[in-house]
Amino acid sequence: MAASVGRRCLRLLRGVTPWRSSLLHCENTTMSHFLQPLRKLPVRAFYTNARRVHTASARTLFLLRPLPILLVTGSGYAGYRQYEKYRERELEKLGLEIPPKLAGHWEVALYKSVPTRLLSRAWGRLNQVELPHWLRRPVYSLYIWTFGVNMKEAAVEDLHHYRNLSEFFRRKLKPQARPVCGLHSVISPSDGKILNFGQVKNCEVEQVKGVTYSLESFLGPRTSTDDLPFAPATPCGSFRNQLVTREGNELYHCVIYLAPGDYHCFHSPTDWTVSHRRHFPGSLMSVNPGMARWIKELFCHNERVVLTGDWKHGFFSLTAVGATNVGSIRIYFDRDLHTNSPRYSKGSYNDFSFVTHANKEGIPMRKGEHLGEFNLGSTIVLIFEAPKDFNFKLKAGQKIRFGEALGSL
């Protein structure tokens, strides 16, 4: 009995031995293949009281574990930025002024290298995809909850009415939702937040307090009425004098930021005549207040549409500034305008005159009249000429709605 058991065990061991040998051979081959590049890496040694210890250089560690290092570094930087924002908010609550920390040239260049125009075009096409009827309510409800949208003001409150995200973003309001102020000469063209306002000094405009951009870079060279030839480069004072047409007048500005949850259409802020449009293809960086405090001349980098003309006190302009996922800027009376188009390269601009032989004046706009729309939140910049006694009825940082007063004489 014992002999038969011994023979049976011997047969089992003979069967297992080749399998174990092949497994060990495979393991050794794999380990040698994995350790082969490590043998070529520089190794340093140091001694402790106990034993000799071998360590790899920093370069070796980076080559071995790039993903964890990138994750740790990125998380650390993001955490630091969040701490900085928290500290700024706490100091603002105490009423202390915080000097802006501007991005370096390399940071701006790195941000501009992101293909935001391509991403915005893809986002625009996604917004036009028709949603199934059963999916509309949950998708729009999530957006309403995230950005605090007030659907009671919408002309159509039924969420199933909007076939796609684009229609929902461009929803119209009930006529009584935004009464237009008739007592003041300039009203807010849109819903939003007042980032800055005041007089334009030294041809520099404040996008937020302490961070400026060049007036001439933003509007582009002043054009003449004769077939719109470009005026030669002029010093700052001369450029401002080209805009201020009446003696005793000053140049004023107002910046309104439209958040994603705001009403996305914009209207005429006063009675004026639009004579010229200039389209600047550009980047599509975010224009939220945090980015406006961080990047100098942010509005000059981004794609924008500048409408210029005249009102009763002289020069008047309204500029719609694009942003990330807001490459589409539409002006209702300008069918030739195509923003965020691949055929236009950044750094250029194209002009169009609404003054023709048949129309000697341009496009007349009444205060409160529909002017255009964004596909998502963005920024409106007003730059206009007015007498010295013009007063804004605003506070920086306040929320404002279309139709409410900006200022008057």
**pLDDT per position as a tens digit, 122-168:** 888 888 899 999 999 999 999 999 988 999 999 999 999 999 988 88
Which residue range forms the structural domain that includes residue 198? 186-222+237-408
Residue in the structure block whose two tokens are 């999916």: 135
In a domain, 200, yes or no: yes
Catalytically annotated residue among 185, 317, 328, 378: 378
Catalytically annotated residue among 191, 262, 310, 334: 191
In a domain, 243, yes or no: yes
In a domain, 263, yes or no: yes
The number of domains in the chain is 1
Which range, 199-213, 218-232, 267-281, 351-365, has the best average confidence (pLDDT)?
A: 267-281
pLDDT at 228 over 50: no
190 is catalytic: no
How many whole angstroms separate alpha carbon 223 and alpha carbon 349? 13
Q: What is the pLDDT of residue 312?
A: 93
In a domain, 72, yes or no: no
DSSP states of 265-308 as a string? EEE-SSSEEEEEEEEE--B----SHHHHHHSTTHHHHB-EEEEE
DSSP states of 241-261 as a string? HHH--STTEEEEEEEEE--TT
Q: What is the pLDDT of residue 6?
A: 47
In a domain, 120, yes or no: no
In this prediction, what percent of the chain has a pLDDT beyond 90? Answer: 31
In a domain, 52, yes or no: no
Instruction: Answer yes or no: are the C-beta atoms of 316 and 271 closer than 8 Å.
Output: no
How many CB atoms neighbour CB 161 within 10 A? 13
In a domain, 212, yes or no: yes
How many whole angstroms separate alpha carbon 70 and alpha carbon 83? 20
Residue 159 belongs to what H/E stretch?
none
378 is catalytic: yes
Ramachandran angles phi, psi of 273, nearest 5° = -120, 125
Q: What is the pLDDT of residue 57?
A: 52
**pLDDT per position as a tens digit, 315-352:** 999 999 988 876 688 999 998 898 888 777 777 788 99
Catalytically annotated residue among 188, 190, 253, 267: 267
pLDDT at 308 over 90: yes
How many whole angstroms separate alpha carbon 193 and alpha carbon 196? 9
Q: Is 30 helix (H, G, I), strand (E, B) or coil?
A: helix
pLDDT at 23 over 80: no
How many whole angstroms separate alpha carbon 305 and alpha carbon 320? 5
Instruction: Answer yes or no: are the C-beta atoms of 221 and 348 closer than 8 Å.
Output: no
DSSP states of 47-107 as a string? E-SS-EEEEE-HHHHHHH-HHHHHHHHHHHHHHHHHHHHHHHHHHHHTT------PPPHHH
Instruction: Answer yes or no: are the C-beta atoms of 305 and 220 closer than 8 Å.
Output: no
In a domain, 295, yes or no: yes
